[in-house]
Amino acid sequence: MSLKHALLGFLSFGPATGYELKHAFENSIQHFWSADLSQIYRTLESLREDGLVTMRIEHQKTKPPRHIYSLTESGHAELMRWLQEPSIELPTVRNPFLLKIFFGALIPKETILEHLRLFDEALRQRIAVYKQIEAYLPKRCREQGLHAHKPFLLATVRLGLTSLEVYRQWCHDFISELKRL
Amino acid sequence: MSLKHALLGFLSFGPATGYELKHAFENSIQHFWSADLSQIYRTLESLREDGLVTMRIEHQKTKPPRHIYSLTESGHAELMRWLQEPSIELPTVRNPFLLKIFFGALIPKETILEHLRLFDEALRQRIAVYKQIEAYLPKRCREQGLHAHKPFLLATVRLGLTSLEVYRQWCHDFISELKRL
DNA sequence: TGCACATATATGTATAATCACATATAGGAG
DNA sequence: CTCCTATATGTGATTATACATATATGTGCA
pLDDT of residue A87: 82
Considering CB atoms only, which of A83, A159, A170 is closest to B103? A83
Q: What percent of chain A has pLDDT over 90?
A: 75
Cβ of A65 near strand C (distance < 7 A): yes
Q: What percent of chain B has pLDDT over 70?
A: 100
Considering CB atoms only, which of B9, B92, B102 is closest to A94? B92
- The residues, ordered by sequence, that sit 6+ positions from B56 with a Cβ below 8 Å of its Cβ are B67, B68, B70
Taking the CA of residue A62 and the nearest CA in chain B, the distance in Å comes to 35
Q: pTM of the full predicted structure? A: 0.93
- The residues, ordered by sequence, that sit 6+ positions from A51 with a Cβ below 8 Å of its Cβ are A72, A74, A75
Neighbours of B84 (CB within 10 A): 15
Residue B39 CA and nucleotide D14 C1' are separated, in Å, by: 14
Mutant choice from B12, B36, B94, B178 vs A, greatest count of A C-beta within 10 A: B94
Which residue from A minimizes the CA distance to B10?
A103
Cβ A31 vs Cβ B93: under 8 Å: yes
CB contact under 8 A, A107 and B158: no
Q: At what angle do helices A73-84 and A3-11 cross, to 10 degrees?
A: 120
Cβ B150 vs Cβ B141: under 8 Å: yes
Residue A65 CA and nucleotide D26 C1' are separated, in Å, by: 14
What is the tens place of the pLDDT at every residue in A146-167?
Answer: 999 999 999 999 999 999 999 9
Task: Give the pLDDT band of residue B102 (cuts 50, 70, 90).
Answer: very high
Q: Which nucleotide is nearest to B43 (CA to C1')?
A: C16
pLDDT of residue A62: 67
Taking the CA of residue A69 and the nearest CA in chain B, the distance in Å comes to 18
What is the tens place of the pLDDT at every residue in B85-99?
Answer: 988 777 889 999 999
- Distance, in Å, from the CA atom of A134 to the CA atom of B100, rounded to the nearest integer, reads 19
State chain A's mean pLDDT as an integer. Answer: 93
The gap from C-alpha B57 to its chain's centroid, in whole angstroms, comes to 27
What is the tens place of the pLDDT at every residue in A50-95?
Answer: 999 999 988 776 677 889 999 999 999 999 999 999 887 788 899 9
What is the tens place of the pLDDT at every residue in B26-50?
Answer: 989 999 999 999 999 999 999 999 9
Question: In A, which residues are within 8 Å of B29 by CB distance?
Answer: 98-99, 102
pLDDT, mean of residues B59-83: 92
What is the tens place of the pLDDT at every residue in B116-163?
Answer: 999 999 999 899 999 999 998 999 899 889 999 999 999 999 999 999
- Distance, in Å, from the CA atom of B131 to the CA atom of B60, rounded to the nearest integer, reads 34
Beta strand segments in A72-122, E: 92-94
pLDDT of residue B73: 97
Neighbours of B126 (CB within 10 A): 18
pLDDT of residue B50: 94
pLDDT of residue A75: 96
CB contact under 8 A, A33 and B98: yes
CB contact under 8 A, B33 and A99: yes
Task: Give the pLDDT band of residue B164 (cuts 50, 70, 90).
Answer: very high
**DSSP assigned state of B69:** E
**Which of the residue ranges A100-104, B21-25, B47-51, B136-140 would you say has the lowest mean pLDDT?**
B136-140
